[in-house]
Structure 1
Amino acid sequence: MRTIAFFNNKGGVGKTTIATTIGYELSRKGKKVLMIDLDPQSNTTQVVLNDAQVERIYKKSSNIDRIKTIKDVYNPMRDSNEPEIGNVKESILSGEKHGFKFDILPSNLNLSEFEDTLSDAWSDLRANKLGGFRRTNWFIQLEQQIKSDYDYVLLDLSPSLGALNRSVLLNVDFFIIPITGDIYNVYGIQNIGRWISQWIRTYTRSLSYLKDDYDAETLNRSQINLSLKQENFKKFAGYIVSRAKYSKKTSGIISYQKKHISDIKKMIHESLYFATVDNIELTSLELGEIREIMSLLTESQGEHVPSYKRVAEAEQNHKKWDKRSAQNAEYAIMKTFEQITTNLLINVGDKNDTNN
């Protein structure tokens, strides 16, 4: 099982659209996929589930079969002195219940309360307390519960550099960054590299003291990350250029976006070189480029289906469409995400089925 987080310290980069569409594409390739929505805004949950299903998350009624969320997973850790999460499998909604094919662990608008728990846990970790380490590493417990059930677990994170995202980014197998061609992404990338480095230094320093206080057997059964170091933090698997605007005159990306994208690539090399997956060249970090097609994507999200689902299902009949038809645009989107997903599989070391 591989775990991949979609993250940027800058909002408005199409993260939810990219995460859900790649999840759908991986499912089309025959992969068993779980999507976890860890953004308190719950955008992925709202895109995937219809209104009636969202009501079943929040509406308190004995006549409604409630849909469980990430809150059901973290609540046991918040409500007791034991640093253990609840049953993950019981909170997962099957891909048969919606149009995106992957299973989903929905978010909850109260997710910010877990942020407070993890913020306190980080303080305890810095004080060399084992409970702080166990709470900070809650994601390891989640992985252990589902590791035999999925090929890929995708996580949609908020733009925050807070305690929740920290707990995931330190333990996830890989992360990818959707970017847009504006200057704020340059500074966002710089922040990511600087903060991750700082987190690792704090964690490893406290871990060294913890190893003095506890024997190896106790630590090994505590489900905490015992191997985290700056030199082995090889988790950055690439970036995706989102909302690329093209010039009608040159058929290339418009000048201001081109300049900022060039600056972003330089910042990625400077700030995230230490975190880049081994054996990936800088030129291979660009997983793909998505043109400015947000109106079409927004329409599909309103219908709670992937933007090119009807085209994907019809492709087996070798159907072609008129150049001006909406299906033709959907076909272009499908081919874009097929290539992005193939590139992603290569970068995370899954070379099987990349041509499917």
Structure 2
Amino acid sequence: MPYIQQNRIGNIYTVSPKKSTKNGNLHIVPGDFWLNSFSDILNVGTDVIAGSGLYRFILPNLITEESQGKNNIEYDYVLIDLPPSFNTLVRSSLYCSDYFLVPCTPDLFSSYCVGLIGEMLPLFIQDWEQGKARYLHSNPTDALIGSLGKPQFGGWIFNNFDTRRQNGKKKMVAADAVHHEAIKVAVRDELIAELKKITYYSPIPSFADEEQVAGIEDINVMASDSLYQNIPLRYLSNVRPTGALRGRGSWAQNQLDLMDEMSIEYDNLAKHIVTHFGNGLNL
């Protein structure tokens, strides 16, 4: 448990994916149950606002530094997968991130949560700025703390929607299209508009607007099979489906086509990150 106990830093564990990457290196830092214990000891009032425990709230950054040293590598990107909540671990990751992406699904909960981000993030930043000012008053040479707490909105992703073919062309089903439009409005009016009120830095980069940066269709059993076999969707067509999940010995042609289409969409998302985010810690 790094940085929980003063006399012990702890060990950082990284693993490589089952399917080797063709370009570069990919290291995975698995989550652990101790993160729940760690979140219980984090205190916004004492650690953040009072400025006495800011380093507890930059754990993702510290883990990254330790992992780079252990693996003798400098990462171009650090991607953090977080739950849809506003607990202390999410706050910690936001403070460490250069950008954040918002995954949404076709339901009312997503548009509601988009509005919550617009409401809560300015408060998170206000707390950080108060604590940072107090901390830097006593530690004026600490460049790391001064560089953090500036997450920018990098876009939103529409996940798990359904399509139907009309006249040979794919179209989003009507119910999902309604939710898609509601999320766009929430991003424009409740997220971007509210984040622009932050005065400590510019939280909305020039490339960000209410349009989605990627659309990932509902891939149904392929998603569970990808997780079960620990194989990325791009390579899933090269292996036989799991009998217990699929119930048959081969993939249907429409499933193979969807795998190819979604692989292209994931590539487009990666290009968005590479083009706009630069190098850094990204949520």
TM-score bracket, shorter-length normalisation: 0.7 to 0.9
1:114: which partner in 2? 38
Distance 1:137 1:338 in 2: 30
1:340 corresponds to which of 262, 269, 272: 269
Percent of aligned pairs sharing the same letter: 20
Contact preservation (8 Å) 1:140, 1:171: yes
Matches within 5 A, 1:5-20: none
Could you give the per-residue CA deviations for residues 221-264 of structure 1, whole angstroms, max 9, x where no partner exists?
xx4x22457xxx35211111111112455842222221221121
2:125: which partner in 1? 200
Q: 1:295 to 1:94 in 2, by over 3 A?
A: closer
Contact preservation (8 Å) 2:49, 2:127: no
Contact preservation (8 Å) 2:57, 2:95: no
Distance 2:173 2:254 in 1: 26
Distance 1:109 1:215 in 2: 33
Distance 2:175 2:89 in 1: 34
Distance 2:263 2:130 in 1: 46
Compute the displacement of 1:140 (Å).
2.9
Matches within 5 A, 1:11-50: none
Q: Which runs of 5+ in 1 are unaligned?
A: 1-74, 314-321, 351-356
Matches within 5 A, 1:1-356: 75-78=1-4, 80-81=5-6, 85-88=9-12, 91-95=13-17, 98-99=18-19, 101=21, 102-118=26-42, 120=43, 122-126=44-48, 128-130=50-52, 132-146=53-67, 148-212=73-137, 214-217=138-141, 219-220=142-143, 223=144, 225-227=145-147, 233-249=150-166, 251-273=170-192, 274=195, 276-282=203-209, 285-309=211-235, 324=253, 326-349=255-278
Distance 1:179 1:100 in 2: 29
Distance 1:153 1:169 in 2: 13
Q: Which runs of 5+ in 2 are unaligned?
A: 196-201, 240-250
1:187 maps to a residue whose letter is Y
* TM-score (norm. length: structure 1): 0.62
Contact preservation (8 Å) 2:100, 2:151: no
Distance 1:207 1:325 in 2: 53
2:272 maps to a residue whose letter is N
2:104 maps to a residue whose letter is I
Distance 1:129 1:282 in 2: 33
Could you give the per-residue CA deviations for residues 281-322 of structure 1, whole angstroms, max 9, x where no partner exists?
426x52221122122221222111112215589xxxxxxxx9
Distance 1:330 1:227 in 2: 40
Contact preservation (8 Å) 2:50, 2:130: no
Aligned to 1:161, the other structure's residue is in SS state coil
Could you give the per-residue CA deviations for residues 135-170 of structure 1, whole angstroms, max 9, x where no partner exists?
112233233334543222111112221001101111
Q: RMSD value over aligned CA atoms?
A: 2.9
Distance 2:3 2:126 in 1: 26
Could you give the per-residue CA deviations for residues 14-56 of structure 1, whole angstroms, max 9, x where no partner exists?
xxxxxxxxxxxxxxxxxxxxxxxxxxxxxxxxxxxxxxxxxxx
